[in-house]
């Protein structure tokens, strides 16, 4: 082999190592909304820097999941009122496979059953839908197994459409159901208490390994959580952080055992405080975002069991009122939290140890932000209900770019978070999936 060929090979390997990275879960490879990707675009339009664009048959809040040369998407076929699972070629947008999952796509005007995002470990990809269907395929699209969680453990007791994303971690598949203890509008078990639980399954077969009941002192709708279990390491211990039912808890991934519990952001037991943002961990701190514009609580779980308020490192009530989040889950990146305030329309960079706000800015655009922020390559990527995307400098908070990607109609809005993989952005609007980046 000539010296030139050796140099070229080393150069290609170097570029691949810098750019290559998967996005296997709703909150990315680190379960915190960030990735180590470099060379991500800072500017684009609906035509400029568009590697490919595909038309989608319906709207959904599910985030695109990427593994090597494949992009996985939960969705709906609105014309056929059908839930679907789709796989695209990451390099050119070609649809590699699509499967129908079930008839019926929604039960209320606010969401669809396809809001949860899929997850993959590179061998299988798992799709969960809010009708209870949990379906596993290999990456070639061959069905491995399927089950319905409502059939197995009873109908979900939620006022609105439940949504939580499955998690593949530490050789197990996890799914949580945090729901009311009594039926609501005829939903839920009527002959016994509806239990909230964390479920662990064998990814190869879908069979239950254990089911951990998660008790709650919350009342009515405050028992309902639309959150996802977040794997993290606290004080050197791997665990799953769960927020909902007026409490924040940590669980052993091997057994489901509750390691610690802190609560509550709701001492008066207000009954309409459903929880949407998932917990986020970084620098030994776990954030719980209280709903309805209330503060964020930074918890430092330094011991097992029930924690008292000495575990509170800080709350945003002690800082500035702009630091709160009713729907978006914050990101952890470059040693700090990035908190998107959907109700008061601000984005803030916050120091984990103290809660000190390094900067806070009004979010660009006219519409509400509910998609969670993506943090990568020195930038924060946002998109709002109206499909207005923004790029923010992570260091200074300066707005680097704004672009309108959609013009939603018929009550549809953009809720899917932007994901990043292999030097490109994947942006889901109401009717399209974009791959954004420098064309090869």
Token pair in block for residue 318:
């002690």
CATH of the domain at 321: 2.140.10.10
Chain centroid to CA 253: how far? 19
**What local confidence, expressed as pLDDT, does residue 237 receive?**
96
Tens digit of pLDDT for each residue in 149-168?
999 999 999 999 999 999 99
CA 335/CA 315 separation, integer angstroms: 18
CA atoms within 13 A on the CB side of 403: 19
pLDDT score recorded for residue 169: 98
In angstroms, the CA 264 to CA 45 distance is 44
The pLDDT, as a whole number, for residue 6 is 37
Check if the beta carbon of residue 356 is closer than 8 Å to that of residue 350: yes
Pairing state between β 258-262 and 305-306: parallel
Position 440 scores a pLDDT of 67
pLDDT at position 3, please? 40
Residue ranges of the chain whose pLDDT lies below 70: 1-20, 440
Report the pLDDT value the prediction gives residue 187, as an integer from 0 to 100.
95
The pLDDT assigned to 439 comes to 72
Give residue 109's pLDDT: 77
Residue 101 tokens, joined: 């999952």
Return the pLDDT at 20.
53
pLDDT of residue 409: 79
CA atoms within 13 A on the CB side of 357: 20
pLDDT at residue 208, as a whole number? 98
| Residue 110: per-residue pLDDT | 76
Helix (H, G, I), strand (E, B), or coil: what is residue 95? strand
Q: Which two tokens stand for residue 274?
A: 């459903």
Domain that holds residue 21: 3-436
Task: Give the count of domains, the chain.
Answer: 1
């Amino acid at each position: 082999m000539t010296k030139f060929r050796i140099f070229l090979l080393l150069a290609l390997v170097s570029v691949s190592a810098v750019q290559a990275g998967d996005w296997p879960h709703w909150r990315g490879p680190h379960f915190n909304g960030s990735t180590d990707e470099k060379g991500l675009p800072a500017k684009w339009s609906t035509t400029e820097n568009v590697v490919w664009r595909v038309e989608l048959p319906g709207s959904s809040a599910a985030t695109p999941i990427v593994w090597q040369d494949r992009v996985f998407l939960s969705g709906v076929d609105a014309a056929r009122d059908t839930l679907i699972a789709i796989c695209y070629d990451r390099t050119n947008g070609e649809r590699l496979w699509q499967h129908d999952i079930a008839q019926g796509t929604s039960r209320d005007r606010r969401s669809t059953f396809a809001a949860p995002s899929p997850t993959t470990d590179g061998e299988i990809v798992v799709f969960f839908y809010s009708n209870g269907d949990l379906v596993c395929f290999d990456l070639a699209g061959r069905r491995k197994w399927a089950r319905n969680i409502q059939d197995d453990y009873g109908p979900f007791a939620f006022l609105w459409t439940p949504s939580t994303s499955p998690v593949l971690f530490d050789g197990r598949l996890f799914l949580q159901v945090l729901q009311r203890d009594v039926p609501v509008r005829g939903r839920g078990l009527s002959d016994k208490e509806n239990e909230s639980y964390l479920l662990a399954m064998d990814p190869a077969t879908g069979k239950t390994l254990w089911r951990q009941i998660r008790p709650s002192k919350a009342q009515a709708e405050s028992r309902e959580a639309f959150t996802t279990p977040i794997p993290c390491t606290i004080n050197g211990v791997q665990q799953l952080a769960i927020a909902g039912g007026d409490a924040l808890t940590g669980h052993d991934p091997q057994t489901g055992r509750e390691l610690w519990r802190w609560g509550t952001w709701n001492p008066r037991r207000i009954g309409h405080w459903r929880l949407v943002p998932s917990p986020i961990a970084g620098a030994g701190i776990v954030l719980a975002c209280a709903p309805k514009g209330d503060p964020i609580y930074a918890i430092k779980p330094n011991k097992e069991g029930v924690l008292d308020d000495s575990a509170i490192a800080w709350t945003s009530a002690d800082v500035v009122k702009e630091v709160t989040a009713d729907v978006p889950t914050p990101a952890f990146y470059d040693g700090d939290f990035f908190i998107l305030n959907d109700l008061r329309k601000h984005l803030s960079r916050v120091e984990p140890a103290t809660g000190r706000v390094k900067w806070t800015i009004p979010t660009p655009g006219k519409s509400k932000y509910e998609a969670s922020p993506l943090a990568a390559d020195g930038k924060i990527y946002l998109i709002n209900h109206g499909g207005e995307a923004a790029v923010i400098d992570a260091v200074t908070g300066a707005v680097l770019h704004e672009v309108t990607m959609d013009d939603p109609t018929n009550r549809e809005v953009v809720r899917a978070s932007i994901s990043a993989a292999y030097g490109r952005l994947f942006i889901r609007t109401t009717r399209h999936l974009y791959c954004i980046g420098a064309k090869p």
